[in-house]
Amino acid sequence: MKSLSWEEYSAVLRKNTLHREAFKSANDLFLSEYRAFFEEEALGRIDVSSVQGIGNYTIKWTKASLKDDVNVELKLDEPLFTVGYIFTGAFNFHRGDGQKGVRVEAPALVIYRQNSDLSYQLIESSKPYETLNISFNDKVLQRILQKFASSSVIIKRLNDEQMIVHRPEDQFLGALFNQLKYLPLDKDVHNLFLAESLVLKILNKAMLLLAGTSAFADAGLNKNQKQEINLFQEVMAYVQENLHKPISISKLSERFEVSPRWLQRHFSDEMQMTFSDYLRDLRLAKAYDMLTNPASNLSIREVCLEVGYNSSQTFSANFKKQYGISPSHIIDRY
């Protein structure tokens, strides 16, 4: 088993920063806006991006495809409160003394305050790994907790428990993190305000969980409201699994026997965007993942069809508008 230490990893990551202002120290990784990658043929590849939001929070995305029998160690050295979501893979939190730590497998919501028992994060190579973290300092956390009557309960849990892991029974939290992950935050200031809205929704649900209250079941919802939530989850799951097919509000309305207005309202309320924008972003995000996957040998035309575009020209134009780079340049890079 090959284990890559934090010192080795961070040195290569700093060398391969894609941000116009290279960061100077390991601590800057968590405090700056940047994109960077680690890649060694014998070990694999890790992509990292981080953006500081308008609400004094940091959104950090990490995706790793490691070779078999390779583990990578990340150091957590900031006094931050973190709410994260692990989409795929698994990792181990430990204190750096060789003792076995807390193992987390996807899909899961992870909530913790940095402490001496959570000094390192060890990414496993058994599966591709992807996570998105929202991090705050203690002052921001205190401001957030002032809005909750149960803040004392939340603080007690954070102090008593090294980490709170919640495996969601529905797709709401995953969908919110997914939407946040795909927002090109460095492209448009409007996206930062949309991110702020998504972050607040995620935090509200996370605080309810910390207080011991289900964010989705008993929070003042009647039977009809719960049925609506479950139905909307089915709609989102169908869309995510059928991006290669023609999908429209009218087709979804017929399939799930609800009105177009009902669907439009739920996408607006729950996802903070129109259905057409949601569908476009999902398709382009899937295309981005396919184009940047070193194991994929698909052509641009094949990717275009796989994500539901009939016109390669329209696909390429939308892709470049979303990510600031053309699909052909992505393929050349990877």
Over the stretch 143-186, which tens digit does the pLDDT of each residue have? Answer: 777 666 567 777 778 777 777 888 765 566 777 787 788 776 65
Lowest mean pLDDT among 75-79, 81-85, 207-211: 75-79
Q: Please give the residue that has the higher pLDDT: either 259 or 24.
A: 259
Percent of the chain with pLDDT over 70: 74
- Cβ atoms within 10 Å, residue 276: 12
Lowest mean pLDDT among 67-71, 140-144, 253-257: 140-144
Domain boundaries, the chain: 2-210, 223-333
> Mean pLDDT across the stretch 129-147?
79
The CATH H-level superfamily of 2-210 is Jelly Rolls (2.60.120.10)
- Quote the DSSP letter at residue 64: E
User: CATH fold of 223-333, please?
Assistant: Arc Repressor Mutant, subunit A (1.10.10)
What pLDDT was estimated at residue 6? 67
Residue with tokens 């060398």: 15
How far apart CA 1 and CA 72 sit, in angstroms, is 11
pLDDT score of 255 more than 70: yes
How far apart CA 71 and CA 61 sit, in angstroms, is 18
How far apart CA 323 and CA 80 sit, in angstroms, is 29
What pLDDT was estimated at residue 132? 92
The string of pLDDT tens digits covering residues 279-318 is: 988 888 788 878 877 677 889 999 999 999 999 999 999 9
**Strands (E) located in the chain:** 2-4, 34-40, 44-52, 58-66, 70-75, 80-88, 90-94, 102-105, 108-113, 120-123, 129-137, 164-166
pLDDT score of 229 more than 70: yes
> Mean pLDDT across the stretch 218-247?
78
What pLDDT was estimated at residue 253? 96
How far apart CA 88 and CA 206 sit, in angstroms, is 20
Of the candidates 98, 104, 73, 82, the one whose C-alpha atom is nearest the C-alpha of residue 11 is 73
- Cβ atoms within 10 Å, residue 233: 18
pLDDT score of 219 more than 50: no
What pLDDT was estimated at residue 170? 54
- Quote the DSSP letter at residue 27: G
> Mean pLDDT across the stretch 36-53?
80
Q: Please give the residue that has the higher pLDDT: either 108 or 215.
A: 108
Query: Taking a C-beta distance cutoff of 8 angstroms, is the pair 68, 112 a contact?
Result: no
How far apart CA 176 and CA 174 sit, in angstroms, is 5
Query: For the whole model, what pTM was predicted?
Result: 0.63
Q: Please give the residue that has the higher pLDDT: either 321 or 142.
A: 321
Query: Taking a C-beta distance cutoff of 8 angstroms, is the pair 174, 216 a contact?
Result: no
Q: Please give the residue that has the higher pLDDT: either 166 or 33.
A: 166
Type of residue numbered 62: T
Token pair for 207? 């605080």
Burial category of 254 from C-beta neighbours within 10 Å (exposed 0-12, middle 13-18, buried 19 and up):
exposed
